[in-house]
Amino acid sequence: MNAMMETSELPAVFDGVKLAAVAAVLYVIVRCLNLKSPTAPPDLYFQDSGLSRFLLKSCPLLTKEYIPPLIWGKSGHIQTALYGKMGRVRSPHPYGHRKFITMSDGATSTFDLFEPLAEHCVGDDITMVICPGIANHSEKQYIRTFVDYAQKNGYRCAVLNHLGALPNIELTSPRMFTYGCTWEFGAMVNYIKKTYPLTQLVVVGFSLGGNIVCKYLGETQANQEKVLCCVSVCQGYSALRSPLSGHLRNETIVGIVIPRFIPRVESGLETQKSAEWRAQETFMQWDQCRRFYNFLMADNMKKIILSHRQALFGDHVKKPQSLEDTDLSRLYTATSLMQIDDNVMRKFHGYNSLKEYYEEESCMRYLHRIYVPLMLVNAADDPLVHESLLAIPKSLSEKRENVMFVLPLHGGHLGFFEGSVLFPEPLTWMDKLVVEYANAICQWERNKSQCSDTELVEADLE
């Protein structure tokens, strides 16, 4: 009898285990997919001004909820992975012309030029000058999708192909693109200004491209001539400084409050030493799988560099003095972008150390010199950009009337997919926002011009 009772209880025990297993799996799915996270409009950081009020009125996407695909869209990792692997869905193939520019050091820079497919909403000649992300170019799907949408909204588009990124274009000098080198982007902008003297510019940078365009604009006031506005999406602002914990003190640098990490006072000392984490060290941590992403991007960079091995390391090449043959062997064993930057990339421009390279190449020290309208966009769940780095655009937007910082809850790194349940739409929230912001700035400038003309007429009548 007891044996029969024990046997009848076994199925109940197994059923309980199955239910527990199912519950555990569902819990993991809910946590990993972040399904409990709410949808909300992006957080906005700006100063109250005529421009900001006009933007809020003219850009509905700034105040509407960003709604990602229900099943997976709230996971920054999945958004990032889909962008990295797939780029976009049903990506168009815009038709353009490839332009070649010979640089002063013998390098051959290329960019692709796409003419507008419709009249612009204000009727003016507007060119978007676009700088893609790390090792990217005009043939990437997310760039093609954005360019096609911009063309249909009346924009001419010029897209930089990072030096060495295109597999079918050989390097003609022992140098390739780096984290903050603006030479090729500047050459493209100068070509557009010379070829289209009546055009006005909208500057757009994605990820690493965001660092390059902001640095370019801040390098000299002349670089901002004919520029209507600038948009930077998913950049990290500084490769060196990243306040992570402890006491934060605001240190003013040329009118911008930059958060600095200050350790606790020990042994009753009145003086406090400022301690700064290196942002690249956050990229080496396993938090949010950054170390894994770092490895994948480093592996891709190694493949690109090694594909140009003869042009960069060949015996006939006049290499930079600091670049040695041993650096090639170190490149083979590199497992992070920092190792590649230290052994190879910084030496293209003669930097003595990785610290010097990151300090000089980061746009953070140039942001306060940008006077045109500037929109900085990041996602709160971007696994590549540590949340502490977002203190930089937040602080900037609190001090400068021309700056607006847009921070949606979701989107990952250059994902920002939209959709109902499972399948994403071809156009992303990011594509729409950049064009909507550019349209609003164009209208703002047109209104200012018309007001100025009216005032001149009234003055003449008086």
The residues carrying an active-site annotation are 207, 382, 413
Pairing of strands 108-114, 156-161: antiparallel
Cβ atoms of 418 and 429 closer than 8 Å: yes
Distance from C-alpha of 207 to C-alpha of 299, rounded to nearest angstrom: 18
Q: What angle do CA 295, 296, 302 make, to 5 degrees?
A: 85
Cβ atoms of 439 and 411 closer than 8 Å: no
Place of tokens 């229900």: 70
96 secondary structure, DSSP code = -
Q: Which residues contact 306 (CB under 8 A, 6 or more apart)?
A: 331
Query: Which two tokens mark 188?
Result: 């493209």
Q: What angle do CA 30, 31, 33 make, to 5 degrees?
A: 65
Q: Which residues contact 134 (CB under 8 A, 6 or more apart)?
A: 162, 207, 208, 297, 301
Place of tokens 């700088």: 131
What b/e sequence results for 345-372 when a residue is b if at least 16 CB atoms lie within 10 Å of its CB, and e otherwise? Answer: bbbbbebeebeebbbebbbbbbbbbbeb
157 to each of 107, 143, 148, 323, 442, how far by Cα in Å? 23, 11, 9, 36, 16
Query: Which two tokens mark 42?
Result: 């992006």
Distance from C-alpha of 139 to C-alpha of 147, rounded to nearest angstrom: 10
Query: Which two tokens mark 152?
Result: 């249909």
**Single-letter residue type at 18:** K
Distance from C-alpha of 229 to C-alpha of 437, rounded to nearest angstrom: 9
Distance from C-alpha of 270 to C-alpha of 282, rounded to nearest angstrom: 30
